[in-house]
Structure 1
Amino acid sequence: MTMQELQELEDFFNNAGKQPVPIFLNDATEITDYELFLQSHIQPLKADIGAKVYQPLIHRLKMLKLLIESNA
């Protein structure tokens, strides 16, 4: 993921507005605090976008984006 792609994701979430919780991404991932979820996923990526350890963060952000788009 590039910084531009991350910025596009962040812009999407900013434009989508606050989502009602809980949000279930899958059977094991429940979002109970939407803003904290976004902050805890986007901030580490901004700090080190190329780190492979953050791949799950990217995956969860993309899953959330798809879920929001499908419910729009």
Structure 2
Amino acid sequence: MDKNGFSDPYVKFYLIPGAAKATKLASKTIEKSLNPEWNEEFTYYGISEEDRLKKTLRITVLDRDRIGSDFL
């Protein structure tokens, strides 16, 4: 949370295990919000059905700050 009492949240998506940049996606930042809503769609390309069943989707919500990012 920022000094103004709000957060600038965004979401990171990771398909794990996976080290390729293609397995990492991020949402847009919702500025000055404590109750953000994202209406975005994300697609992972080049991942077979078999690989998809072996992976886990990790979703992390963060607060974008000018100095750094805080895990929410």
Q: TM-score range by the shorter chain?
A: under 0.3
When normalised by structure 1's length, the TM-score is 0.26
TM-score by length of 2: 0.26
Whichever of the two has the greater Rg, that structure is 2
Which is richer in strand? 2
